[in-house]
């Protein structure tokens, strides 16, 4: 569901999601006829911040395919589906994505890591481009319950409380194993879980949440589960420590250590935008439960930053700071006692990409 995150007082997330809803809706309207991958609707918020808000139901693959088709018309796009990239390496010419056999599957002067929770492995664990503590990403498994919708829907429009109940979604492009006309309830929120197996316990938790939203639909869910007719979808969200996305240039945390050691007692005045970065390396991750809402706005701002554009307003500059992937490393380094900085490159992690990168600021 594409929907705003409504709060009484504005927060960075509510601002981002308001911008994101507008931006994504415009993309849906521009690229896909309604009914062929998305459907405009409204949602009734029952719990926190009650009210009725404009929303849309979206099949993400339809939007991604539309973006890819458009990009292919404009330039040279090569898709390597089902190609895990366990390693990213820096070369004198830029970045190389290596497959499991150690062969290069793509190289470019500029790379953007968009691997959700897998970004932690790529950037912090495997390549040691970042100190793991400076990349606080967490997996959060979610399971949605769904089944064929026969007859009249159980509610006039989607409802949200602890989860979202969608009484009816119709789309011939849904996964072939699913009916084209479904109702859905989701999703569970399992912090720390990083697997994609469906389980009945999660369906039962969705039924409990649905009890408070639409008791008749909760009875349908339980009946479908008992009859073996309930289907589902489970995946892993990627959330950051402050629940905001990470979109921007990847910090070089080893170079930051040296920079802060040099700054000495002035380190508290070092600005976020002074954080050293790996040249040509960017990321966009930690979209949490709101990827449909946030991905396009964050990606378009990231592309503008990569093109050297300055933010259009003070508000946009503030938002970009709030999603800067360097914010955790920068805060940590400013708080660190002066004697604890690793200023000597010889003491750094072997193979750490920060080696020699201080000159790249």
In the complex, the residues that contact ligand FAD under the rule CB under 6 A are 1, 84-86, 114-116, 118, 122, 142-144, 186-187, 235, 237, 285, 287-293, 295
In angstroms, give the least distance from the CB of 268 to ligand FAD: 33
In angstroms, give the least distance from the CB of 163 to ligand FAD: 9
In angstroms, give the least distance from the CB of 218 to ligand FAD: 18
Q: What is the DSSP letter of 221?
A: H
Which one, 24 or 253, has the nearer CB to ligand FAD? 24
Which one, 99 or 332, has the nearer CB to ligand FAD? 99
In angstroms, give the least distance from the CB of 289 to ligand FAD: 5
In angstroms, give the least distance from the CB of 123 to ligand FAD: 10
Which one, 143 or 348, has the nearer CB to ligand FAD? 143
Exposed, middle or buried by CB within 10 Å (0-12, 13-18, 19+), for 107? middle
In angstroms, give the least distance from the CB of 239 to ligand FAD: 9
Phi, psi at 106, each rounded to 5°? -175, 140
**E-only strand ranges, 29-80:** 38-45, 51-58
Which one, 187 or 231, has the nearer CB to ligand FAD? 187
Contacts of residue 182, Cβ cutoff 8 Å, sequence gap at least 6 = 146, 147, 148, 149, 166, 168, 169, 170, 174
Q: In what order do the strands lie in the sheet with 277-285?
A: 111-113, 277-285, 246-251
- Bridge partners (DSSP) of residue 233 are 144
**Residue burial 81-106, b: 16+ Cβ < 10 Å; e: rest:** eeeebbbbebeeeebbbbeeeeeeee
Contact 109, 279 (CB under 8 A): no
Contacts of residue 72, Cβ cutoff 8 Å, sequence gap at least 6 = none
Q: Give the pair of three-digit tokens for residue 234.
A: 């489970």
Which one, 1 or 214, has the nearer CB to ligand FAD? 1
Which one, 198 or 263, has the nearer CB to ligand FAD? 198
In angstroms, give the least distance from the CB of 287 to ligand FAD: 4
Which one, 142 or 352, has the nearer CB to ligand FAD? 142
In angstroms, give the least distance from the CB of 1 to ligand FAD: 4
Contacts of residue 204, Cβ cutoff 8 Å, sequence gap at least 6 = 225
Which one, 206 or 348, has the nearer CB to ligand FAD? 206
**Residue burial 214-239, b: 16+ Cβ < 10 Å; e: rest:** beebbebbbebbeeeebbbbbebbbb
């Amino acid at each position: 569901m594409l929907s705003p995150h409504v709060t009484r007082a504005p927060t960075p997330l509510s601002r981002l999601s308001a911008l994101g809803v507008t931006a994504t809706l415009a993309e849906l309207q521009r690229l896909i006829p309604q009914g062929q991958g998305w459907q405009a609707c409204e949602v009734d918020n029952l719990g926190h911040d009650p009210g009725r808000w404009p929303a849309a139901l979206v099949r993400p693959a339809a939007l991604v395919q539309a973006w890819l088709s458009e990009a292919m018309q404009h330039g040279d796009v090569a898709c390597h589906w089902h190609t895990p990239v366990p390693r990213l390496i820096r070369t004198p010419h830029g970045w190389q994505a290596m497959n499991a056999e150690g062969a290069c599957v793509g190289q470019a002067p500029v790379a953007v890591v968009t691997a959700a929770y897998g970004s932690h492995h790529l950037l912090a664990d495997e390549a040691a481009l970042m100190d793991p503590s400076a990349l606080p990403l967490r997996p959060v498994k979610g399971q949605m319950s769904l089944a064929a919708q026969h007859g009249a829907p159980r509610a006039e429009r989607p409802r949200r409380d602890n989860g979202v109940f969608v009484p009816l979604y119709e789309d011939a492009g849904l996964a072939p194993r699913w009916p084209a006309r479904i109702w859905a309830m989701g999703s569970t929120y399992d912090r720390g879980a990083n697997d994609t197996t469906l389980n009945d316990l999660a369906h039962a938790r969705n039924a409990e949440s649905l009890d408070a939203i639409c008791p008749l639909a909760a009875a349908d869910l339980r009946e479908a589960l008992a009859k073996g007719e309930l289907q589902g979808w489970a995946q892993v969200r990627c959330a950051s420590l402050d629940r905001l996305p990470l979109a921007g240039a990847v910090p070089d945390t080893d170079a930051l250590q040296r920079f802060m050691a040099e700054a000495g007692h002035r380190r508290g005045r070092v600005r976020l935008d002074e954080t050293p970065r790996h040249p040509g390396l960017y990321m966009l991750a930690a979209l949490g439960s709101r990827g449909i809402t946030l991905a396009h706005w964050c990606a378009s701002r990231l592309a503008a930053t990569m093109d050297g554009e300055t933010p259009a307003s003070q508000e946009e500059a503030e938002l970009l700071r709030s999603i800067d992937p360097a914010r955790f490393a920068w805060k940590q380094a400013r708080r660190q006692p002066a004697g604890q900085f690793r200023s000597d490159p010889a003491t750094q992690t072997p193979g750490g990409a920060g080696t020699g990168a201080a000159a790249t600021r």
